[in-house]
């Protein structure tokens, strides 16, 4: 049963919340202290704490971190893990207390402390203060991709969708293998009616994470885009193709590609392809799509993020003839007939594609 606070208690809680929000902004400043690395005993205590945390035993984990900090008050790793456990158990006041302490040190965990502070404020319903904290952290650490990612999440929640897209782009630019970053950006593109950018972002996510529950949701968006612009006509041999010529162009002019999506989908519905499996049709459709993308004038992309970041990867993927392993790999959770069989029979081909993809050098796009 929920209990309603009496007015004085409610006022006290509100005052405490406001003070914590103001304190977060005031106390997080440029670090000046130098941390002291943990010794073997402290490292063992921290490791034990992490294991307990992963089991959900947060109080026991906190005890281990406090053990390490009692021996070494300048142990920043213990501070970070301690703050993280307090955050996990939703003790936000203690989280911020440890964050302020840890953020005074020049360490690799500084970005994590700023992220936790912003997360606390966002969870408390103070999105604007959280945004200020993330931006303050970014000012100190302009290449900290996770700060951009968390900033994007908060901006999206606050309805600042254009800002969220910009922040998500920065996140994946600094951390090309950040799965959640690509999923977030793909979702923002999709909700903003950016068809081709959404498709490429979702497919990049699926390359990194092809076989989870999240993969199914991303795959649904990708399949929706690949199948868009085509409807069955009144007659059995009649197909209608629609292209929105008023589509947004700030991520590049993809009208020709959107037309190709319709044409290639229509081709897959033709009589000559009736004996092909659905996944075989997808391979053919995506091959056609990338053939057009590869031949497009780069001026069509302008200085867009999609044109500079995602397009070169997929053009190179097509050039190396990796479309087939790419489609089968990204459709692991599709339940389409023939996918699992192909993956079992073409392990070497799949490994070759994945090695190339992992080694691909993503550009830093400002």
Q: Quick one: CA dihedral 54, 60, 62, 66, positive or negative?
A: negative
- 3-class secondary-structure state, position 101: helix
β 230-232/239-241 pair status: antiparallel
* Fold of domain 20-175: 1.25.40
Tens digits of pLDDT across the chain (366 residues) = 223 333 334 433 433 444 444 555 456 888 999 999 999 999 999 999 999 999 999 999 999 999 999 999 999 999 999 999 999 999 999 999 999 999 999 999 999 999 999 999 999 999 999 999 999 999 999 999 999 999 999 999 999 999 999 999 999 999 999 999 999 999 999 999 999 999 999 999 999 999 999 999 999 999 888 876 555 556 655 555 555 666 788 888 888 777 777 666 656 555 565 668 889 999 998 998 899 899 988 888 888 999 999 999 999 999 999 999 999 999 999 989 999 999 999 999 999 999 999 999 999 997
Single out the residue of 48, 175, 34, 58 nearest to residue 106, CA to CA.
Answer: 34
Angle value at C-alpha 224, between 281 and 151, nearest 5 degrees: 130
Phi-psi region of 4 (alpha: psi -120 to 50; beta: other; left: phi over 0): beta
pLDDT at 202: 97
Distances (CA, A) of 153 to 87, 127, 234: 18, 10, 44
Determine contact, residues 30/140, Cβ cutoff 8 Å. Answer: yes
The pLDDT value recorded for residue 1 is 29
CATH 1.25.40.10 placement within the chain = 20-175
pLDDT value of residue 3: 36
Q: What are the residues facing 231 on neighbouring strands?
A: 240
**Cα 67 from Cα 45, distance rounded (Å):** 7
Q: How far is CA 73 from CA 24, 42, 58, 246, 340, in A?
A: 21, 11, 20, 60, 53
- Looking up tokens 């003839």 gives 321
Residue 266 pLDDT: 59
Helices within the chain (DSSP H only): 7-27, 40-54, 58-71, 76-88, 92-102, 110-123, 127-140, 145-157, 161-174, 179-191, 195-208, 213-226, 255-268, 278-295, 305, 311-319, 323-330, 339-345, 347-359
pLDDT, position 173: 98
- Token pair of 76 as six digits: 């920043």
Task: Say if residues 205 and 244 touch (Cβ distance below 8 Å).
Answer: no
């Amino acid at each position: 049963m929920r209990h309603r606070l009496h007015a004085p208690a409610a006022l006290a809680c509100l005052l405490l919340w406001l003070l914590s929000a103001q304190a977060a902004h005031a106390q997080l400043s440029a670090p000046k202290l130098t941390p002291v690395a943990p010794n073997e005993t402290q490292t063992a205590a921290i490791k034990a704490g992490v294991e307990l945390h992963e089991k959900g035993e947060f109080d026991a984990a906190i005890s281990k971190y406090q053990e390490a900090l009692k021996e070494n008050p300048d142990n920043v790793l213990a501070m970070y893990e301690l703050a993280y456990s307090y955050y996990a158990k939703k003790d936000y006041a203690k989280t911020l207390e440890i964050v302020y302490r840890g953020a005074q040190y020049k360490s690799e965990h500084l970005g994590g402390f700023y992220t936790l502070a912003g997360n606390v404020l966002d969870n408390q319903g103070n999105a604007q203060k959280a945004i200020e904290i993330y931006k303050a952290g970014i000012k100190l650490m302009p290449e900290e991709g996770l700060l951009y990612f968390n900033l994007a999440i908060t901006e999206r929640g606050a309805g600042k969708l254009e800002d969220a897209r910009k922040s998500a782009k920065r996140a994946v630019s600094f951390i090309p293998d950040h799965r959640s970053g690509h999923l977030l950006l793909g979702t923002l593109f999709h909700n903003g009616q950016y068809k081709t950018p959404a498709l490429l972002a979702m497919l990049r996510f699926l390359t990194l994470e092809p076989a989870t529950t999240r993969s199914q949701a991303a795959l649904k968006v990708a399949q929706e885009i690949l199948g868009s612009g085509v409807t069955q006509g009144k007659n059995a041999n009649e197909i209608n193709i629609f292209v929105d010529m008023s589509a947004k162009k700030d991520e590049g002019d993809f009208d020709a590609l959107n037309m190709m999506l319709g044409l290639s989908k229509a081709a897959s519905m033709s009589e000559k392809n009736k004996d092909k499996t659905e996944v075989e049709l997808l391979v053919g459709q995506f091959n056609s799509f990338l053939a057009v993308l590869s031949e497009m004038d780069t001026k069509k992309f302008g200085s867009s993020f999609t044109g500079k970041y995602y397009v070169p990867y997929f053009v190179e993927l097509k050039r190396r003839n990796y479309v087939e392993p790419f489609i089968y790999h990204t459709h692991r959770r599709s339940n389409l007939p023939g996918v699992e069989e192909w993956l079992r029979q073409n392990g070497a081909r799949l490994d070759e594609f994945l090695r190339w993809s992992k080694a691909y050098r993503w550009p830093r796009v400002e």
